[in-house]
Amino acid sequence: MAAYEAKQLYYVIDDYENENVYDKDGVIIGEFTGYKLRPTYKNNGRIEVRKVTGEYMWIEALSVRIAGMGVKCVEDYAMY
């Protein structure tokens, strides 16, 4: 099995795709909306996710891309 290097969601998520985002346990958080907040010296950058309930939230976390699945967090995500 290939080892994946975890990076912040901002860098892992594809700008032009509506990808599913999963938590560290493999449970779907929601779908990436296409909106990102750039990283600064105070934060790691965030992405906007539309939850399955229709609500929107901004999250950040270390994550990896898994082919055929989407993007999976490797730690607890922070919600804003």
- Residue 1 domain-assigned (yes or no): no
* Paired sense of beta strands 70-73 and 78-79, if any: unpaired
Q: What is the pLDDT of residues 32-77, one digit of tens each?
A: 999 999 999 999 999 999 999 999 999 999 999 998 889 999 999 9
What domain range is 29 assigned to? 7-79
Question: Listing from the earlier edge strand, what are the strands of the sheet with 78-79?
Answer: 7-8, 62-66, 70-73, 20-22, 28-37, 46-51, 56-60, 78-79
* Paired sense of beta strands 28-37 and 46-51, if any: antiparallel
- Residue 2 domain-assigned (yes or no): no
Q: Where are the alpha helices (DSSP H) in the chain?
A: 9-12
- Residue 32 domain-assigned (yes or no): yes
What total number of domains does the chain contain?
A: 1
Indicate left, alpha or beta for 39 from its phi (over 0: left) and psi (-120 to 50: alpha): beta
- Residue 41 domain-assigned (yes or no): yes
Q: Structure pTM?
A: 0.88
